[in-house]
Amino acid sequence: MSEAIAAPAARWRARVIRLVLVALVIAAIAIVTYLLGWDIRSWFHDLWHEMTSISLGYLVAGLVVQTGQTTFAAYGWLWILRYAYPDVELPFKPVLAAYAIGVALNGFLPANIGTFVMMFIFLTFIPGSTFPGVFAGFLVQKIFFTLAGTFIYLYLFLSVPGSFNIELGNISAHKVLTALIILGAVFLLVVLVRILWRKMKGLWEKAKVGGKILEYPRVYFSRVFFSQFLSWSCKLGVIGIFLAAYGIPVTFHTIMSVAGGNSLANVASFTPGAVGITQAVNTASLTNVTDATTAAAYSLGQQLIVTAWNQIFAITLLIWTFGWTGGKQLVRTSYSEAKDKVESA
């Protein structure tokens, strides 16, 4: 009888201790962010202001479609990895969780470190996987998005005068110098490839499995390419929903212009989430359809809300898939390895 009574009491004490530890961690994070000068309170204030300044219907619709964007892209990854490592029984949930974590981290970490974290998480639960193989899968996953990005880049450059000059050091005013830099980079790349060719032969054996699905065009187009098209369509849908929420005309031109500006900002900026340059490019893209204040409010509002939702979605999947303790350790280890990989690149 005493043992039966002691068991619930022990569980209750463990729960209290866990809650106290969580409270202490939150307090420690608050103190550290204060000492580092990070105005977290202001960030939450801005987030709340943006969330309450638009209709609840638009907010819910935007978050649902944003979830679809992440889910469809992760589904494409699932089939790339299943064909790369056919002997592994690979469920969708951990792939979705890893992809969502990468998306969430890219929202506030520079240099797309979140993408590398995602790849290292893949390595932890796919037996026999290697970084070259997973990275090759990443290149396969990028095929559709590269084509889509090329399309919207062309649309942006042809339809929005001056957008290429924003925050890019006025590259268009130094075309000869830019061309020389590009040629020099290509030459150095060729030399580097020749020097490392022998080593790359060994890496190729590990990497080529990542592109295995390309040997099955029907599967690739039906399971990967199409799901990525749906993900990209959701991305455009999110833009359209938030444009409407801020009273900005929703047309093919405005959606393509904003999508192109966002893509350009991600390429041209190493700031976390491309903050700053995104607002500048979006303001230029929308200059003919709304005033600068509304355009900046839309850009900042969408970025804050989507970034916050990506964090919530990723944390939920992390705990659901890997557990709280295992999830924390997994992300911590993967982030450390990804950071080392980026710094050594």
Higher-confidence residue of 217 and 42: namely 217
What is this structure's pTM?
A: 0.74
Are 197 and 92 in the same domain? yes
| Tally of domains in the chain | 2
* Tokens linked to 23: 């409270």
Are 119 and 135 in the same domain? yes
Are 28 and 142 in the same domain? no
**Residue 30 belongs to what domain range?**
1-38
Give helix 113-125 / helix 131-159 axis angle, nearest 10°.
150
Share of the chain above pLDDT 70, in %: 60
With bands split at pLDDT 50, 70 and 90, how would you rate the model's confidence at 329? low
Own/partner contacts of 211-216, CB < 8 Å, gap of 24 or more, are 211/84, 211/136, 211/137, 211/139, 211/140, 212/83, 212/84, 212/86, 213/79, 213/80, 213/83, 213/84, 213/140, 214/140, 216/83
DSSP category for residue 250 = -
Are 171 and 55 in the same domain? yes
Sign of CA dihedral 119, 121, 126, 127: positive
Rounded to whole angstroms, how far apart are CA atoms 103 and 57? 24
Are 8 and 93 in the same domain? no
* Tokens linked to 107: 């929202």
pLDDT tops 70 at residue 155:
yes
69-109: per-residue pLDDT in tens? 999 999 999 999 999 999 999 999 999 999 999 999 888 77
Looking at residue 92, its pLDDT comes to 97
Are 52 and 109 in the same domain? yes
Rounded to whole angstroms, how far apart are CA atoms 273 and 53? 22
Looking at residue 181, its pLDDT comes to 56
Are 120 and 266 in the same domain? yes
Cα 65 to Cα 23, 97, 171, 204, 338, distances in angstroms:
33, 17, 35, 38, 29
Are 298 and 244 in the same domain? yes
Determine the average pLDDT of the residues in 125-149: 92
pLDDT tops 90 at residue 67:
yes
Give residues with Cβ within 8 angstroms of 286, minimum separation 6: 248, 254, 257, 258, 294, 295, 298
Are 71 and 16 in the same domain? no
273-321: per-residue pLDDT in tens? 555 567 777 888 788 899 888 888 898 889 889 999 999 999 999 889 8
Q: State the DSSP string of 272-297.
A: GGGTTHHHHHHHHHTTTTS-HHHHHH
**Burial grade of 297 (CB within 10 A; 0-12, 13-18, 19 or more):** buried
170-213: per-residue pLDDT in tens? 445 555 555 665 666 666 666 666 655 555 555 666 678 899 99
Are 101 and 239 in the same domain? yes
Question: What is the identity of the amino acid at 141?
Answer: Q
Looking at residue 84, its pLDDT comes to 95
12-65: per-residue pLDDT in tens? 666 566 555 545 544 554 554 455 455 555 555 555 555 567 889 999 999 999
Are 20 and 74 in the same domain? no
Are 107 and 140 in the same domain? yes
Question: What is the identity of the amino acid at 29?
Answer: I
